[in-house]
A and B are shown apart, each in its own frame.
Chain A
């Protein structure tokens, strides 16, 4: 379904601030698979998702979604087929517009937006029905501005918006990281429900080893712009949070060693 081949992305290339965020990432995802991405801070997880979503164009490599090469497509074109939920609960919805208006916007993702009325009576009813499935009591507050909701409620609605029109690919970037534990649980449960119900192909970045272990059918571990581990099948099923953590420690340990060695070399050569 999603095919990444040898993706490179460098920010501020050729300046002292150069960051090589993705250094040759290849990935093949099957239709209906749910892939978790974990990794150290700054390892390029968000950059990977942004590359797929089209926030920027990649330096080299190819991105194919379904049968379409989307490598050079602008972000809004890709968004017709890709649903997204961001880490920041404020990013996914328009705060001064009402719940109903936000969902009305989402109901036209990838479809034409003519000069027909945006909120018909039947659409309102459908919105109320779908909001009811969140079990947050929001169906009575359809005309409240989204800005008046809590972060968890907003994330739940953003998830609904991203999946209202069934996307070919769902991108979740630490979408529970900014929430309190209870809301995070709620949103994760909702994610699980929607993804299994609609059999969505999902790429989820998470900071929580628990989520990575319990959800999905595959775990990617990223480090310094590379995919350093790829667990699937029985390997994924056997994975424990502690194993993943100890792998992180190993990576960190190696990092600490490298600068020291570099210093040593510098001392002896300069």
Chain B
């Protein structure tokens, strides 16, 4: 149970990352590698703020803005300086590594002394339910901090997810989706596709950085390496989400990405529990994404081969 709740927590935290990846990879079809850097950037910025005594709300907001800045930079490199999309992301990601080291001051920093969103929120929850350390859920004793964090993440995700959904339904948000779908069309409709892409990447990386910011506050330490592999992680969540909800409208796909992230984290937790070496996590994630990307092609090919075979049989008969 404890394991389950912590997996839920991680899953929801990484769901913000999945939303970011959904925006750049799916709405804009832009292979945005910046995410690896902006995830750590969000974490680092929040950590630095918390350590120097700022409140958790402000620190989290600054983490989000830091990501937006990173995403906008990638967007400008790509649209203004005409650098290949992948390369723009790689440049920003690489530069961010140094930036993150500077922001953190050293390669890892603990937040056990600082106040965090989770601690503040737990204190509020304790005021309501009384000063208990553990709660009995179906016979399992679960730490109040974990439960409170879960509640916080659920609430936060509901707010952010529905805001994103509403935003994508506004005139500006609709133009953004149109721009990803067919940039030539949006140009002919009098909006700069470059501007929309830059804004979209800023938003995507803002969400990714928010994910990093929430992660450092949950686990109470930040590491300059924490962003490595995040793009693939987010992509895995988005793909699982798509297989859950099918090819449907973006509202469902948003929900799918969130569910996908939670489910993916759950699968990982179970695999780790069954003795998977944590060092193998990234290669397994990469392999999973590979299979998810290739499987549809493969099944399509098999289907056509079957059809061809059938046609041949019919022809012979």
Query: CB within 8 Å of B: which residues of A?
Result: 53, 74-77, 79-80, 83-84, 86, 90-97, 101-102, 104-106, 108-110, 113-119, 161-162
Task: Give 13 CB contacts A-B under 8 Å.
Answer: A79-B187, A79-B188, A83-B188, A91-B184, A94-B182, A95-B182, A105-B178, A113-B171, A113-B175, A114-B170, A114-B172, A117-B169, A117-B170
Whether the pair A93, B169 counts as a contact (CB closer than 8 A) is: no
Of chain B, the residue at the smallest CB distance from A84 is B188
Q: Given the complex of chains A and B, what is the CA–CA distance between A97 and B178 in angstroms?
A: 7
The distance from the CB of B307 to the nearest CB of chain A, in whole angstroms, is 22
Whether the pair B190, A76 counts as a contact (CB closer than 8 A) is: yes
Whether the pair B185, A93 counts as a contact (CB closer than 8 A) is: yes
Q: Given the complex of chains A and B, what is the CA–CA distance between A53 and B174 in angstroms?
A: 23
Q: Given the complex of chains A and B, what is the CA–CA distance between A110 and B175 in angstroms?
A: 13
Decide if the interface of chain A is mainly helix, strand, loop or mixed. loop
Whether the pair A115, B181 counts as a contact (CB closer than 8 A) is: no
Q: Nearest 6 CB-CB pairs, A to B?
A: A94-B181, A118-B174, A113-B171, A79-B190, A80-B190, A94-B178
The distance from the CB of A97 to the nearest CB of chain B, in whole angstroms, is 6
Is B287 an interface residue, CB under 8 A from the partner? no
Is B164 an interface residue, CB under 8 A from the partner? no
Whether the pair A102, B178 counts as a contact (CB closer than 8 A) is: yes
Whether the pair B181, A96 counts as a contact (CB closer than 8 A) is: yes
Is B191 an interface residue, CB under 8 A from the partner? yes
Whether the pair A113, B172 counts as a contact (CB closer than 8 A) is: yes
B173 contacts across to A, CB distance below 8 A: 115, 118
Interface size range of chain B in the complex: 20 to 34
For chains A and B in complex, what number of residue pairs have CB atoms within 8 angstroms?
A: 83
Whether the pair B192, A76 counts as a contact (CB closer than 8 A) is: yes
B186 contacts across to A, CB distance below 8 A: 94, 105
Q: Given the complex of chains A and B, what is the CA–CA distance between A94 and B193 in angstroms?
A: 13
Is B177 an interface residue, CB under 8 A from the partner? yes
Whether the pair A108, B171 counts as a contact (CB closer than 8 A) is: yes
Of chain B, the residue at the smallest CB distance from A92 is B185
